[in-house]
Amino acid sequence: VIKCKAAILWEANKPFSIEEVEVAPPKANEVRIKIVATGICRSDDHVITGALVMPFPIILGHEAAGVVESVGEGVTSVKPGDKIIPLFVPQCGECSSCLSTKGNLCSKNDISSAAGLMADGTTRFTCKGKAIHHFIGTSTFTEYTVVHESAVAKIDSAAPLEKVCLIGCGFSTGYGAALQTAKVEPGSTCAVFGLGGVGLSVVMGCKAAGASRIIAVDINKDKFAKAKELGATDCVNPKDFKKPIHEVLIEMTGHGVDYSFEVIGRTETMTAALACCQYNYGVSVIVGVPPAAQNITFDPMLLFSGRTWKGSVFGGWKSKDSVPKLVADYMNKKFVLEPLITHTLPFTKINEGFDLLRTGK
């Protein structure tokens, strides 16, 4: 058993509490990891606000990089000392999604079931005598965590962990939404709703795919300079217009965009993103986590005319196969991660990090 620091969320809408936790050794087919760097993602905040329902108390965090500390019986893909990235979408290699060339959402994921436990129905974290839940099979807001072998990818030993941790969620999710899910083509027009880290990564993916026009949409104009630096050709603030934003985008392009991406997680922007893409062959991708217990009402004629509405989890990448390749691409300077990092804080200042997230900074 390792005793270390972890940021525990005891209940909703409260700050994280830095506590000493006990982390049990890995069981068969499990890996214990020393977390070196972790990013803060809006999905973590969604658990705090209740928009993403998970059991409490819980150790959140899912975008990270670290080093293998020890392995359980039967683990063959990693060994102690290996640099790794934990995978919130595992890759078991055996379920229907893993076996399909079209799928990537392994059935062993804990996003849909939200049990907050390891595969055997127990937890590896204890604090003050209480069992603490895991978060989507990763739980990275702790100095040590335990994950299943199918939820860990070995990466280049030279990779800077404080940068490539973003490949564990934000960067891969956005970049893949453009390249893998939408399959943006050269010369096409794109609209990206929401310019946080994931939205900016969508912009980078659209640019890498050769899009001729990338319209960035956000109500925070402070986000525009970075969006342009990463490839956006136009930046639009819905607050500057009296008319609905989808009408503005249709006017800007003449017939709507070829591809639109909702990277916020709000139902009204999801329908706006659908409505702004070309009426017959436009494709709209939902990238932001939808809020719990909310439904969308929309005119089905939007789809009948030929549009495609898609979802994308972890950018459509098969995680265990793709994460090491994405790290290699970063090392070969195929894309940058530095502009996505705005602040670097010590672990004990995690609550300040979330304040920065919530204020759009």
- 343 is annotated as an active-site residue: no
Domain boundaries, the chain: 2-170+316-359, 182-311
Q: What pTM was computed for the model? A: 0.96
Note the pLDDT of residue 257.
98
Q: What integer pLDDT is reported at residue 293 of this predicted model?
A: 78
Position 290 scores a pLDDT of: 85
Of the residues 92, 106, 165, 169, only one is catalytic, namely: 169
Residue from 175, 104, 192, 140 nearest 330 by CA: 175
- Catalytic pick among 17, 41, 92, 113: 41
Distances (CA, A) of 131 to 134, 180, 199, 326: 10, 38, 36, 35
Sequence-ordered alpha helix ranges (H) in the chain: 42-49, 96-99, 161-164, 170-176, 197-208, 224-229, 245-253, 267-275, 301-304, 319-331, 350-358
**Is 46 a known active-site residue?**
yes
Catalytic pick among 43, 188, 201, 284 = 43
The class level of CATH for 182-311 reads: alpha beta
Identify whether 43 is a catalytic site residue.
yes
Our answer to whether residue 169 is catalytic in this structure is yes
pLDDT for the residue 308: 98
Nearest-CA neighbor of 54 among 133, 126, 145, 168?
133
How far apart, in Å, do the first and last CA atoms of the chain sit? 38
pLDDT of residue 291: 81
Catalytic hit among 46, 133, 134, 148: 46
Residues in the chain: 361
Digitized pLDDT (tens) for each residue of the chain, 361 residues in all: 999 999 999 999 999 999 999 999 999 999 999 999 999 999 999 999 988 899 999 999 999 999 999 999 999 999 999 999 999 999 999 999 999 999 999 999 988 888 899 989 999 999 999 999 999 999 999 999 999 999 999 999 999 999 999 999 999 999 999 999 999 999 999 999 999 999 999 999 999 999 999 999 999 999 999 999 999 999 999 999 999 999 999 999 999 999 999 999 999 999 999 999 999 999 999 998 888 878 999 999 999 999 999 999 999 999 999 999 999 999 999 999 999 999 999 999 999 999 999 998 9
pLDDT number for residue 289: 85
Residue of 62, 133, 134, 148 marked catalytic: 62
Amino acid 77: pLDDT: 96
Look up the CATH superfamily of 2-170+316-359: Medium-chain alcohol dehydrogenases, catalytic domain (3.90.180.10)
